Amino acid sequence: MAEQVSYTEDNIKSLSWKEHIRMRPGMYIGKLGDGKDADDGIYVLLKEVVDNSIDEHMMGNGKTIEVKIKDGEVRVRDYGRGIPLGKVVDCVSKINTGGKYDSRAFKKSVGLNGVGTKAVNALSSEFAVESFRENEAKRAEFSLGELTDDAPIAETNKRNGTKITFRPDPEIFKGYKYRMEHVEKLLWNYVYLNTGLSIYLNGEKFKSENGLRDLLETTMDGTPRYPIIHIKNDDIEVAITHSDAYGEDIQSFVNGQYTPQGGTHQAAFREAYVRVVRDFFGKDYDTGDVRSGIVCAVAIKVEEPVFESQTKTKLGSTDIGPKGPTLKTFMFDFLKRELDNFLHRNPETAQALQARIIQSERERKDLAGIKKLARARAKKASLHNKKLRDCRVHLNSKKDRNEDSTLFITEGDSASGSITKARDVVSQAVFSLKGKPLNCHGLTKKVVYQNEEFNLLQAALNIEDGLDGLRYNKVVIATDADVDGMHIRLLLITFFLQFFPDLVKKGHLYVLQTPLFRVRNKKETIYCYDEDEKKSAMEKIGARAEITRFKGLGEISPDEFSHFIGEEMRIDPVVVGREANVQDMLGFFMGKNTPDRQKFIIENLRIEKEEVGEAV
């Protein structure tokens, strides 16, 4: 019989604002993390502070923002109006307090719920705010949300604006480190969306003159099929072109906020774009053909936006504002007017756009028969459970996809068996490869349906028609840490970048880290992921330590594997750098054996040998 637990007035507790944030940080900043992923909490803290400075700029106050990050400390200085001096402490320490409730002051702001800066304060071991207004200054300091110094208002000769300095609490963000590639992408998005704004990161200037057109020119892979279409008005900006890549590459923004999970504005654009293109050409083109290969950035301004979470990664608003039209109507009217006019004025661009649609249509029809057979094979394989050990979470649609749902892709019966026995059957699934996948660089999508491994993997993920149906939030490559395992890893990454680049660009693809060594005695076991960790473990355990070198995942027992794919799982995101061209990169690493690649391998092998020699 279950033990009876008392339930009285003593069980009811009221938490202060900072206690609640610290106890439930995920409600305010999403996942915690250590900084490896772009959506880890330390970047959300940075974003919450910079968002306030961006809002000032959008209201016409201040053209420069300075960001400094050093040794884990962050400093953000803007030159806006500055927080009203008598409310400086309240604005960073009283929940639901801020100027954004007054739409006269912040008409189209990113944050409207008065939580962001308070969350930064509560989750920082050190937090300081300074406001400069009309030759007066106010400073306050906090620790873990607790006020430690409330300085009086003093005279100053500094320019108006606000400066916030904080250090994330290492007890919450364990082993955190700001990775500049994630910070730089965040800041570049800000300047693309705010032409005329200059942001300095540790002295380096970020500025854009042409907004979203600059974004596409800088970030798109390959050569555009036609010059970028760039159209805008006060509340919306759109940049569009097409590439020869598969899938859709759509980046969306709301009030200067990047929305990686899209939302109602992105859905409205996708629908309206197809309608306008069909109307322009007078053809009832297939929806997938119209959008296949599209590379696009969409930014809108919405009054009092509603996001689906505090981290603002997905818009939920259905209207452009309380008194405005629906997003669908607004988006269609804008594209019908501006895109239609642009295509009429630029017939060469219109012709190139239509040629890309016809190409997609022809490829789709050529694949029709192969697809039918491939789907039948995939369905039969799924029924017999040959490749996929699925999890129990209901994953039939993007809406129902659990944030923790994970698919491990592994090779070999031993490794897949160990992971299958050790996994969390509720949220973790396993897909077992048979041998090395095909190197698909330079091949057409026909190979996805003709190759059994690729066909079944595509079916397991449900990404044939794009990411809308993706069944797992994380796709984790789990291979041995040897030469063969690394090769399989590269072949899988090539497959995704070649045919489903959205999966990588949207941050769904990861690589699992597994320990290389086990160091133990009768009392303690330590798993080590590199030589340095092994050395530290040996020093801790002592001279009688037993050391095991794992040669492959199949050697790790299911009991041990449960340590590596649970809460402490180490996974590295597969990130494509801002300056990287995917097709050029794949051609270099996975294409023909060129002299340049031979030279690269030889030089890097020499460096590794030198490092090993020094260690010995």
Tokens of 36: 């490896």
Domain locations along the chain? 17-206, 212-363, 385-515+561-615, 517-549
Structure confidence at residue 105 (pLDDT): 42
511 forms beta bridges with 477, 572
Asked if the model's pLDDT at residue 97 lies above 80, the reply is: no
Structure confidence at residue 321 (pLDDT): 82
Percent of the chain surpassing pLDDT 90: 40
- Rounded distance between C-alpha atoms, residue 374 and residue 396, angstroms: 20
| Average pLDDT for 537-566 | 83
> Do residues 502 and 247 lie in contact, with contact meaning Cβ atoms separated by under 8 Å?
yes
Nearest to 327 by CA among 363, 345, 300: 300
Fold of 17-206: Heat Shock Protein 90 (3.30.565)
Structure confidence at residue 329 (pLDDT): 95
Determine the length of the chain: 616
- Rounded distance between C-alpha atoms, residue 193 and residue 197, angstroms: 9
CATH code of domain 385-515+561-615: 3.40.50.670
3 vs 325: which has the higher pLDDT: 325
> Do residues 271 and 327 lie in contact, with contact meaning Cβ atoms separated by under 8 Å?
no
* Long-range Cβ contact pairs of 320-324 (< 8 A, separation 24 or more): 320/235
Asked if the model's pLDDT at residue 211 lies above 50, the reply is: yes
Q: What residues contact 163, with CB distance under 8 A and at least 6 apart?
A: 75, 76, 77, 78, 129, 130, 131, 132
Structure confidence at residue 402 (pLDDT): 63
Structure confidence at residue 358 (pLDDT): 96
pLDDT tens readout for residues 121-174: 999 999 999 999 999 999 999 999 999 999 999 999 999 999 999 999 999 998
Neighbours of 425 (CB within 10 A): 13
Residue 490 has φ and ψ, to the nearest 5°, of -65, -40
- Rounded distance between C-alpha atoms, residue 585 and residue 494, angstroms: 10
> Do residues 476 and 399 lie in contact, with contact meaning Cβ atoms separated by under 8 Å?
no
Nearest to 402 by CA among 468, 461, 315, 473: 473
- Amino acid in position 434: K
Q: How far is CA 325 from CA 101, 109, 121, in A?
A: 22, 19, 37
What sections of 100-211 are H helices per DSSP? Answer: 116-122, 180-193
| Average pLDDT for 345-365 | 94
> Do residues 259 and 266 lie in contact, with contact meaning Cβ atoms separated by under 8 Å?
yes
Find where tokens 């066909």 sit.
455
Q: What's 11-59 look like in SS3?
A: HCCCCCHHHHHHHCCHHHHCCCCCCCCCCCHHHHHHHHHHHHHHHHHHC
- Amino acid in position 444: T
Tokens of 589: 């690493």
Asked if the model's pLDDT at residue 243 lies above 50, the reply is: yes
pLDDT tens readout for residues 408-443: 999 878 888 888 888 988 889 999 988 888 888 888
Structure confidence at residue 613 (pLDDT): 33
Structure confidence at residue 563 (pLDDT): 81
Tokens of 546: 């037993």
CATH code of domain 212-363: 3.30.230.10
Structure confidence at residue 383 (pLDDT): 47
Structure confidence at residue 397 (pLDDT): 43
- Rounded distance between C-alpha atoms, residue 248 and residue 246, angstroms: 7
